[in-house]
Structure 1
Amino acid sequence: MTNVVLERRRAGVLLHPTALPGTSGKLGQAAMQFVDMLAQAGITVWQTLPLGPTHADLSPYQSLSAHAGNPMLIDLAELLAPGLLEEHELTACSRRAAMERASERFQAGNYRESEVFNHQAYEDFLAHHHWLRDFALFVANVETFPGSSWLEWPEAMRNHEPAALAAQQEAKLGTLQRVYLEQYLFFVQWSALRRYAAERGVFLFGDIPIFVAHNSADVWAAPELYKLDDSGNPRVVAGVPPDYFSPDGQHWGNPIFDWNRMAGDGYRWWIDRLASQQERFDLLRIDHFRGLQAYWEIPADRPSPVHGYWMPGPADGFLEACFRALPNLPLVAENLGIIGDDVEALRHRFRLPGMTVMQFGFDGSANNPHLLHNHKEWDVAYTGTHDNDTSLGWYQSLDEHTRHHVNRYLRIEGAHMPWSMIQAAMGSVSRLVIVPIQDFLGLGPEARFNTPGTIEGNWLWALPDNYREQLDTARLKAMLELYGR
């Protein structure tokens, strides 16, 4: 599907907002300064990871909600101007306590309204986001029963019984109001960021995990949409067989959709999910697109990925329903890993851009699709992704034979990595090239954001406070102009 982002050659950056500097939050001045730097350098696309609230492991791919924004990204300093917070509360209060005070003032009307921030706009937001009630109740329950999943809640609450929900709604009204306000503030701040970026010619590129976390508002509120047993535990879970990222495969643990059940109402849950993300982004990547054609199903009682098997996905019927409901849906397919002709045929039938990753190109085969000479115009080319080492770290870790192959192919000696890699990527025929910010800053393995198959030390890396001084924007802009980006 054509999209304004892909109408011409562009360069983009990959950075999750959690990695921005800033102690009061990320979606205010910190994010806008980042956009300013992108515009100065001629970069016109900013790609993020999923924006939902996370569990304790901080993975944006295991969210508490498929719809909600992460309240930790809200910039509390932005609440000073409308009078929802006072200056000393930014440092004297915990984030939750600060939001509780802001919520109390908001509900009492003790704040200054503006064109974009007012009670009518708040009411309109609540009315148009029907997922919010279940999410707020889920958060209230998480705070009421700390350290437990929804399977361990009292039976009536676990089963989402109306009487239990009504009682909790009355008992935890203050918590629910705080969550409503958090989501409204996230919406207001993200919308302001998107407008700010658009005014400077920068598009926002989002990411949608195909599966959701079991311990989430989505599964608790609608367990019938997933392959669960009578107790609510997954009968089967998601993962992938052995591949480049993990020689032993990966056990993700996400419950798997009951696609037949979802088809019964025309995939309404998914259409609502896509619509809520389309509110935020100009382009959307479906992570693990191959799961729409066939997915790796692992029995819950045999958790090793090698015990999994392929199951058919919803394929054409699903995508037809999505594009029928959302004709301008701007999708990109993540088609990395074990990808068969059937997956690529599905992608091409719907004219969806795919992905290439330069780090994957050097297996010795001249037919490798990740090599520059095999790139396609409509695909999105990357030096590396959030799951890769930085390009410098990757290059330094190569064995001598592979490093020699890289040097020959890129016609370099390696002294100027990763800029040699970046320049090669910019010369790709692909309309859009995305480079992780770590590569633009020339950082090594210490700046890796995630290592698949591990649970420690991920999602923690952050930009240094002086990153804008470290990036040579004039050099980068000249390079982009050289390659028509």
Structure 2
Amino acid sequence: MSCASDCAEKECDMRERASGILMHISSLPGPYGIGDLGKGAYEFADFLNETGTRTWQILPLGITGYGDSPYQSFSAFAGNPYFIDLDEFVEAGYLSRAQIARADLGRDPERVDYGKLYDHKMPLLKAAYAKARPELEQKLKAFLKREDWLKDFALFMAIKDHHEGVSWQMWPQELKRRDELALARFARDHEDDIYFWVFTQFYFFKQWTRLKQYANRHGIQLIGDIPIYVAEDGSDIWANPEMFRLDKDLAPVCVAGVPPDAFSADGQLWGNPIYDWKKMKKDGYAWWIKRIRESFRIYDIVRIDHFRGFESYWEVPAGSATAGTGRWVKGPGMSLFRAIREELGELDIMAENLGFLTQDVVDLIEDTGFPGMNVLVFAFDAREDSDYLPHNYIRNSVVYTGNHDTQTVAGYLRTAPESEVEYARRYLKLDDKEGAALGFVRGAWASVSYLAVAPMQDLLGLDDSARFNTPSTLGDNWKWRMKKGALTQKVRSDLARLNETYRR
């Protein structure tokens, strides 16, 4: 759906209006402590199909590290083993129901307990691997040979496990610096540990591909999400240190974040390593091209998080206590996206363009032709006209009621200034009979934006107890799961009616 600026509007005029639901895999209901790629995922796809909803947006699928954030993963390419459906292992004879029943995967069906999953689901996966490896050995070897990112990832995770999970920055120097003899020796001595990680990826992508094919057959496109940065403690930086701005000890000399603003006096200190864009440009941005190519193998549409960082990014000296000490530095701009287009052709990319936007950022998004985002809960400052108000949208855009970082609509209406709430009520004609949250969904669906998306929490009218993430905090984030039975006939009818009414 994306296109160069000289044809963006023409292409967008031809694009059919559509709607979507933002629902991460982890939030699906199911019996095993976290949403997975099993029965619950297919039932959700059926729900979307039944209601005429043609896109399903998820968050990054990678293995979560510190803080359980899907935006801080051990790999830009690997899938999260927690999402593997255990029922397939039972059917194959690799696990028994009794083994699963003995595992404590978390007792609250509406919250993910990541500690329980680490302590109990990972051993189940290892038990399944031990049973499966003899008959899968040749398939695993072929899979490892086919996926060129997998060797470094599996080796990284095996070494990490061997050193009790500590960051690769704390590994012995010969492993940290990838001495060939040391890595070969480790691989020889720990082959089984390495192949366990190959096994998890084999099954993750097998199950994900099957789900995607099912969704596509039912007219549903999957929207993936890729973070602009990778985690410091990850296989990408360990395997490719030359791509990042590191010192002689391979530690970042500067890290990513966002500057202080009205929401945070100190800004946000993310801590991700900064790319060495000059070196990346010299090889034609090969790593980024590979990343985008792999993303479109598993998604139909790709949303790139923090898109403004490609024009200019906030660079903070390593070791800073807050993001306030940072500065703006020019990013690769259109040279990156020209290289991607030349190699891969036109791609269906969405640009997350929230935050402080200069004219240069606006120009970059226009030059790429990628649709940007509008967020409805940001719109209702009664004192001024906002770009997020629907009467200011353009067709080549995506509107959200909220996203994974915002309050839910119900939570926003409960805590926002009265002037904002009153303006939202007048603008959207909210009433108690329909429900305010559904009124926001209606306002998004009625807009000119070609794609309208609501987090599942807003379709259900949930308050901030269902908020998925509060930026710059640790603790109760990324844990929300949809209650079993939440997709009532009323929810289905409401969504189908909105899709039919607004021709989405």
If the TM-score is normalised by the length of the shorter chain, which range does it land in? over 0.9
Give the direction of change, closer, same or farther, for the CA distance of 1:79–1:367 in structure 2 (3 Å limit).
Answer: same
Once the two structures are TM-superposed, the CA of residue 98 in structure 1 deviates from its matched residue by: 2.6
Q: Which of 193, 205, 221 is the equivalent residue of 2:211?
A: 193
Question: 1-side partners of 2:453 and 2:39: how far apart?
Answer: 24
Matched-pair contact (CA < 8 Å) for 1:52–1:66: yes
Please give the secondary structure, in 2, of the residue aligned with 1:384.
coil
Partner of 2:175: 157
Worse-matched range after superposition: 313-322 or 237-246: 237-246
Matched-pair contact (CA < 8 Å) for 2:20–2:453: yes
Please give the secondary structure, in 1, of the residue aligned with 2:91.
coil
Worse-matched range after superposition: 243-252 or 451-460: 243-252
Question: 2-side partners of 1:244 and 1:53: how far apart?
Answer: 32
Matched-pair contact (CA < 8 Å) for 1:407–1:414: no
Partner of 2:110: none
Matched-pair contact (CA < 8 Å) for 2:253–2:317: yes
> Aligned AA for 1:288?
H
Please give the secondary structure, in 2, of the residue aligned with 1:462.
coil
Partner of 1:99: 125
Partner of 2:109: none
Matched-pair contact (CA < 8 Å) for 1:49–1:60: yes
Residues 1:41 and 2:67 aligned together? no
> Aligned AA for 1:473?
R
Partner of 1:435: 454
Please give the secondary structure, in 2, of the residue aligned with 1:146.
coil
Give the direction of change, closer, same or farther, for the CA distance of 1:357–1:296 in structure 2 (3 Å limit).
Answer: same
Q: Which of 453, 459, 480 is the equivalent residue of 1:461?
A: 480
Partner of 2:406: 388
Partner of 1:334: 352
> Aligned AA for 1:234?
P
Question: 2-side partners of 1:34 and 1:133: how far apart?
Answer: 33
Residues 1:343 and 2:361 aligned together? yes
Q: Which of 310, 331, 335 is the equivalent residue of 1:317?
A: 335
Written as runs of structure 1 = structure 2, the 5 A alignment for 1:24-35 is 24=32, 26-35=36-45
Question: 1-side partners of 2:244 and 2:75: how far apart?
Answer: 15
Written as runs of structure 1 = structure 2, the 5 A alignment for 1:114-129 is 122-129=140-147
Residues 1:482 and 2:501 aligned together? yes
Matched-pair contact (CA < 8 Å) for 1:441–1:471: no
Written as runs of structure 1 = structure 2, the 5 A alignment for 1:74-93 is 74-92=84-102
Please give the secondary structure, in 2, of the residue aligned with 1:426.
helix
Residues 1:289 and 2:299 aligned together? no
Matched-pair contact (CA < 8 Å) for 1:441–1:470: no
Partner of 1:372: 390
State percent identity of aligned pairs.
39
Give the direction of change, closer, same or farther, for the CA distance of 1:27–1:245 in structure 2 (3 Å limit).
Answer: farther
Give the direction of change, closer, same or farther, for the CA distance of 1:375–1:365 in structure 2 (3 Å limit).
Answer: farther
Partner of 1:112: none
Please give the secondary structure, in 1, of the residue aligned with 2:61.
coil
Once the two structures are TM-superposed, the CA of residue 449 in structure 1 deviates from its matched residue by: 0.4
Residues 1:8 and 2:13 aligned together? no
Residues 1:23 and 2:31 aligned together? yes
Please give the secondary structure, in 1, of the residue aligned with 2:382.
coil
Please give the secondary structure, in 1, of the residue aligned with 2:283.
coil
Question: 2-side partners of 1:120 and 1:196: how far apart?
Answer: 27
Once the two structures are TM-superposed, the CA of residue 123 in structure 1 deviates from its matched residue by: 4.4
Question: 2-side partners of 1:22 and 1:247: how far apart?
Answer: 40
Question: 2-side partners of 1:83 and 1:453: how far apart?
Answer: 44
Matched-pair contact (CA < 8 Å) for 2:2–2:371: no
Question: 2-side partners of 1:367 and 1:197: how far apart?
Answer: 39
Question: 2-side partners of 1:280 and 1:244: how far apart?
Answer: 37
Question: 2-side partners of 1:161 and 1:38: how far apart?
Answer: 50
Give the direction of change, closer, same or farther, for the CA distance of 1:358–1:303 in structure 2 (3 Å limit).
Answer: same
Partner of 2:228: 210
Give the direction of change, closer, same or farther, for the CA distance of 1:68–1:396 in structure 2 (3 Å limit).
Answer: same
Question: 2-side partners of 1:300 and 1:282: how far apart?
Answer: 37
Residues 1:263 and 2:273 aligned together? no
> Aligned AA for 1:68?
A
> Per-residue displacement from partner, 1:40-66 (whole Å, max 9, x unpaired)?
122111101100001141100100000
Matched-pair contact (CA < 8 Å) for 2:382–2:419: no
Residues 1:447 and 2:473 aligned together? no
> Aligned AA for 1:16?
H
Question: 2-side partners of 1:236 and 1:315: how far apart?
Answer: 20
Q: How many residues align?
A: 477
Once the two structures are TM-superposed, the CA of residue 244 in structure 1 deviates from its matched residue by: 5.5
Matched-pair contact (CA < 8 Å) for 2:2–2:350: no
Question: 2-side partners of 1:324 and 1:483: how far apart?
Answer: 37
Question: 1-side partners of 2:247 and 2:231: how far apart?
Answer: 16
Partner of 1:276: 294
Gap regions ≥5 residues in structure 1: 110-117
Question: 2-side partners of 1:124 and 1:341: how far apart?
Answer: 49
Residues 1:51 and 2:69 aligned together? no
Matched-pair contact (CA < 8 Å) for 2:316–2:323: yes
Question: 1-side partners of 2:490 and 2:236: how far apart?
Answer: 41
Please give the secondary structure, in 1, of the residue aligned with 2:452.
strand
Matched-pair contact (CA < 8 Å) for 1:244–1:337: no
> Per-residue displacement from partner, 1:208-241 (whole Å, max 9, x unpaired)?
1001110000111111111111112111110001
Once the two structures are TM-superposed, the CA of residue 303 in structure 1 deviates from its matched residue by: 3.3
Partner of 2:377: 359
Give the direction of change, closer, same or farther, for the CA distance of 1:432–1:141 in structure 2 (3 Å limit).
Answer: same
Matched-pair contact (CA < 8 Å) for 1:246–1:452: no
> Per-residue displacement from partner, 1:195-220 (whole Å, max 9, x unpaired)?
11111111100101001110000111
Question: 2-side partners of 1:163 and 1:478: how far apart?
Answer: 64
Partner of 2:117: none
> Aligned AA for 2:323?
P
Matched-pair contact (CA < 8 Å) for 2:2–2:347: no
Once the two structures are TM-superposed, the CA of residue 243 in structure 1 deviates from its matched residue by: 3.5
Once the two structures are TM-superposed, the CA of residue 375 in structure 1 deviates from its matched residue by: 0.9
